[in-house]
Amino acid sequence: MAHPAINHTLFALGHGDLAEALGGFAEFVGPDDLLKLPVGRAMLAAPNVEEARESFMRFATAWDSGGFDTFLPPTAEKSQFPVRGPDAPHHPVGWVPYEQRQDIYLYHAGRWFLWLADDHPQWHELTLTDGGVRRHPVTRIYGTSYETTCRLDLGQLAVWIMAEASVRVHWRGFGFSAHVHPGGTFHEPSIEITVHGVPEAEAASVAIELDVIAEGHNWSNPCDPDDHRFRFTSRMVPSGADDRRSPRPGQITIADDDDDE
């Protein structure tokens, strides 16, 4: 089998200058690929370094002998290599051409992490689930109110945000409506809140306060600008304006994936 010039998937233990290289494969091996073999699940469930190393070697042997890809053990001069671990300071990394990508599985502090060199390269913590492997971005930052509303769908969250906004003393008398897109094939999840009856002089400050409220229920990721719970926008409608685009005050509309808006 012909292989690319570099290993696209590497496995290692620890991090820093003395990370221990376990070897790798020329092709990309995704987290769900590991579950094609029972020993792959055992590797992801390893409770300590010794079992992680041992189960990886069993996986590598089985993956190779099963014809999935040839295992490439580390050479003597590359048995240790520096790895900037998941607990190091983070900053956005530029796009990596496909042929130069290297995904790195790293066992550190009793857990497996994956450096995924896709459009927004970053570390993900891997967690076994009944249905597969969950990837969680290490650099994701949650808003201060996220834990309170994390179980709400976006329609329910829109109601929550409007209720939170309406109790602001200086906003009493304003009307609120919402247009929600739950997300799908062609659209990202989004909430648009319209505030009705806003004096023009107050529109900017109201929009800023709404942004702050929504941010508290959202998440962000400094390594990936597209990683968020929902995209938030707001519209200000002055008193007496003929606005036929937005739902009427008190209404919420839920779009489906075929809607343009």
**Residue 248 or 107, more confident:** 107
State the angle between helix axes of 203-216 and 154-166 in degrees (0 to 180), rounded to the nearest 10: 130
CB 233 within 8 A of CB 190: yes
Please give the distance of CA 201 from its chain centroid, rounded to a whole number. Answer: 38
| Integer CA distances (angstroms), 11 to 101, 109, 122, 154, 180, in order | 14, 15, 16, 38, 42
Tokens representing 134?
């969950």
Question: Are β-strands 16-25 and 71-72 bridged in parallel, bridged antiparallel, or unpaired?
Answer: antiparallel
State mean pLDDT over 14-38. Answer: 90
Question: What band does 46 get if pLDDT is binned at 50, 70 and 90?
Answer: very high
Strand partners, 135: 126
**Residue 20 or 168, more confident:** 20
Please say if the pLDDT value at position 2 is more than 90: no
Q: Where are the alpha helices (DSSP H) in 66-153?
A: 146-149
- What is the model's pLDDT at position 87? 74
Reference 74, options 54, 86, 58, 57; nearest CA is 57
Question: What band does 7 get if pLDDT is binned at 50, 70 and 90?
Answer: confident
Q: Give residues with Cβ within 8 angstroms of 199, minimum separation 6.
A: 238, 239
- Give the dihedral sign, CA 82/85/91/93: positive
Give the whole-angstrom CA distance, residue 224 versus residue 253: 29
CB 78 within 8 A of CB 21: yes
216-225 pLDDT tens trace: 999 999 999 9
Question: What band does 80 get if pLDDT is binned at 50, 70 and 90?
Answer: low
- What is the model's pLDDT at position 172? 75
Please say if the pLDDT value at position 259 is more than 70: no
Please say if the pLDDT value at position 11 is more than 90: yes
238-248 pLDDT tens trace: 876 666 676 78
Please give the distance of CA 96 from its chain centroid, rounded to a whole number. Answer: 18
Average pLDDT of the chain is 88
CB 180 within 8 A of CB 254: yes
The owner of tokens 């579950």 is 35
State mean pLDDT over 59-73. Answer: 95
Domains along the sequence of the chain with CATH = 9-139 (no CATH), 146-254 (3.30.70)
- What is the model's pLDDT at position 159? 97
152-210 pLDDT tens trace: 999 999 999 999 998 876 777 899 999 999 998 888 999 999 999 999 899 999 999 99
Question: What does residue 158 show for φ and ψ, rounded to 5 degrees?
Answer: -60, -40
114-138 pLDDT tens trace: 999 888 899 999 999 988 999 999 9
- What is the model's pLDDT at position 196? 92
- What is the model's pLDDT at position 76? 56
- What is the model's pLDDT at position 126? 98
Give the whole-angstrom CA distance, residue 192 versus residue 166: 15
